[in-house]
Amino acid sequence: MKKNIFEVRWNNRKQKKDVVLSVSGSRTLSDERVKIILLEQIKKHEVTKITTHGEPEGVCSVARKLCKEKTIPLTLHFLDFTKLRGAFYHRTIAAFYDCDIAVFIHDGKSKGCQNEYEMAKKMGIPNEYFKLEIPEHKKSIGFEIENEWIDLELPEIELIIDNNEVDK
């Protein structure tokens, strides 16, 4: 049986002690859900290093920030426009050659993330796929604070303050 050249190259790479996670995903997803998924994957697979793309915002940006926050070694892959239309393809292949497992966090619409997921399956890379809805708000709470709490005129707060002064 003839094997896919990408699968052969990926399987024949040197044995490593590290567990490297490749992170790919949609640019529209950058909220807390992405960070939670990444933290769960890091713990589940005992990840020691992460590889991702250097330019995109969204999921890749969350991965880069998480590496800084948790002091996890990070390898970034950048677009090489000398490859012209193949720049995205070659960047993805380079990231996949560095990894042991890939995680995809997809908004269900991004063609780039879908293409990367299909490529990883074709290469035989173990992977996990998560589909998330695009969030309505940038933060989970979704609302900016309009007034300082101290400026709020709420009878319950005044009552608590008055009772505390009486107790002293």
The number of folded domains in the chain is 1
Output the 3-class SS for 17-78: CCCEEEEEECCCCCCHHHHHHHHHHHHHHCCCEEEEECCCCCHHHHHHHHHHHHCCCEEEEC
In DSSP terms, 76 is beta-bridged to 52
| Parent domain of 145 | 5-167
Q: Domain containing 84 — which CATH number? A: 3.40.50.11100
Q: What is the pLDDT of residue 141?
A: 54
Q: What is the pLDDT of residue 84?
A: 80
Question: Residue 18 — φ and ψ, nearest 5°?
Answer: -75, 155
Q: What is the pLDDT of residue 118?
A: 94
Phi and psi based region of residue 72 (left: phi greater than 0; alpha: psi -120 to 50; beta: remaining): beta
DSSP secondary-structure letter at 100?
S
Task: Using 70 as the pLDDT threshold, list the residues of the chain that sit under it.
Answer: 1-16, 137-168
The tokens of 124 are what?
């035989």
In DSSP terms, 129 is beta-bridged to 104
**In terms of Cα–Cα distance, which of 24, 96, 29 is closest to 60?**
24
Q: What is the pLDDT of residue 81?
A: 85
Q: CA distances (Å), 155 to each of 99, 158, 166, in order?
A: 58, 5, 16
- Digit-coded pLDDT (tens) for 82-106: 878 788 889 999 999 999 999 999 9
* CB within 8 Å of 132: residues ≥ 6 apart: 29, 33, 34, 105, 106, 107
The tokens of 87 are what?
């720049």
